[in-house]
Chain A
């Protein structure tokens, strides 16, 4: 007996509910819209929020790319790609330029996004004010009244302790001059890519049951101090594989004696620079079936 799923796993009523939340989120850039997050066939922390957003916006003609820490071939990316390959039958790709929907964890691709692309972020903790205000009622009121002094207290503490703003990921931003937003745990290197992006950016937090969005061509400013301005950060060297000087690099330990190399975290970007034809997504997912990864 074959089990058949509805297109993209979720039933149509659930998708409508999520789409309503997405529309509201787009209408109020940076505002966290509560939604009735569903139980998904994967653990929290693996992108249950992002998967629900993707399921709600996916159409039969869409081309899906899924990345985890910039890479197309880690467990999280492979399993989510297979999930939609099986439940929606959509075409999948590893090429940023070919994709119409990109679900991501922790990175924005190096290849600039364009109009008619949607990027879906997986978000663990959507509330940027949680650090200093543990109460949800408190943070909601602060958002409503635009009381964002606390975010700067966090940055102040960084400078007081480390001499510079030591927040390197999930760096708080202000969207369209109104809502302070957690950009999900992307490196702050990627923050400037969010501003005035031609692509629609959607954020889904499954456990916390929140959806928020940045519409195309919206100004996104990283918060900072006048005398300690926001700075992008990357390892100051070239990619050991493709020689890129402007991409975000991962440090890879190569043996037990401290040897290491720096390579592009965006595997598609690195491979296309090296001029290698990427293996087809099917081949990638088959190959990874035999691998075991941690979560």
Chain B
């Protein structure tokens, strides 16, 4: 009998202070391969801090983040060398920013944006790089004819989809998403969510999605964490939390969305 697979990422007691201001306190959870975890809460509740701590963009004050690398060895993110961490970031991880301009190179064509990660890990065949860029543009529903245009000429929704393609081209196992649908209008949001849901299940991605939008959490995630004032106040299966919220704050959040 196979032993149950080790978690992909383990967060243990993550704490961050900004001077005397609390960023987040004692956050612990595990995420397994193929699982989508939503982190919800109001502005200033520590969601984005948590994401930056998990992805190693910001040093921790206490706690640790362990990640199971492709070779099966689980290692503490803080103990990786900078070169290893940056390599991980370019290959096995993705990071989708709320503002696509932060995650894209706006002066470089769409093809170059998607191909950059491939070239960063040593791809040196123009035809093949372009082929996978074409392929990924198609998968995120961008007309491949527009491969040589820069993202400046793209709409907001297209930019966000391009950013997703750019992140997924190296077939990462874990993607961090910071408000992936923020700033988009409702019909574009729906289309993007639909696309993301398809990609996540096709590729068996694990994802940590930070959002203030409970509908996003409901559609994408299997489990969720509810944060308030830097701490996790409730966690569990998404359907359970949304249908039967226990904490007063979660009840407030859930009741604040208009019924469909």
Contact = CB atoms under 8 A, between A and B. Distances in A.
Interface of A: 132, 141, 145, 147, 149-150, 152-153, 156-157, 159-161, 224-228
Contacts of B189: none
Most chain A CB atoms below 10 A, which of B105, B115, B117, B126: B126
Nearest to B81: A145
B108 interface: yes
B120 A156 contact: no
B116 A149 contact: yes
Q: What band does the interface of chain B fall in when counting residues whose beta carbon is under 8 Å from A? A: 20 to 34
Interface string B82-124: 1100100000000000000000010111011001110111001
Which 7 A-B pairs give the minimum distances between C-beta atoms?
A: A149-B120, A152-B119, A225-B126, A149-B119, A226-B125, A145-B83, A160-B148
A152 B124 contact: yes
For chain B, what secondary structure do more than half of its interface residues adopt (helix, strand, loop), or is it mixed? helix
Contacts of A160: 109, 111-112, 130, 147-148
B259 interface: no
Contacts of A147: 86, 120
Contacts of B86: 145, 147
A219 to B, nearest CB: 17
Contact of A153 (B108, B124, B130, B147): B108
A227 B112 contact: no
A197 to B, nearest CB: 25
Nearest to B109: A160
B129 interface: yes
Nearest to B148: A160
A227 B120 contact: no
B148 A161 contact: yes
B104 to A, nearest CB: 12
A179 to B, nearest CB: 16
For chain A, what secondary structure do more than half of its interface residues adopt (helix, strand, loop), or is it mixed? helix
B4 interface: no
B116 A153 contact: yes
Contacts of A228: 126
5 contacts: A147-B120, A150-B116, A153-B105, A156-B129, A225-B124
B153 to A, nearest CB: 14
Interface of B: 82-83, 86, 105, 107-109, 111-112, 115-117, 119-121, 124-127, 129-130, 147-148
Nearest to B123: A152
Given A157-B108, A160-B111, 17 more contacts: A141-B82, A145-B83, A145-B86, A147-B120, A149-B116, A149-B117, A149-B121, A153-B108, A153-B112, A153-B115, A156-B119, A157-B112, A160-B112, A160-B130, A161-B148, A224-B124, A227-B126
Contacts of A157: 108-109, 112
A228 B125 CA distance: 8
Contacts of A141: 82
B125 A227 contact: yes
Given A145-B83, A153-B119, A225 B125 contact: yes
Contacts of B115: 153, 156
Nearest to A146: B83
A157 to B, nearest CB: 5
B128 to A, nearest CB: 8
A132 B126 contact: no
Contact of A145 (B82, B121, B124): B82
A182 B242 CA distance: 57
A159 to B, nearest CB: 6
B106 to A, nearest CB: 11
A181 B66 CA distance: 37
Contacts of B126: 156, 159, 225-228
Contacts of B147: 160
A225 B120 CA distance: 13
A167 to B, nearest CB: 14
A226 B129 CA distance: 11
B135 to A, nearest CB: 16
Nearest to A131: B107
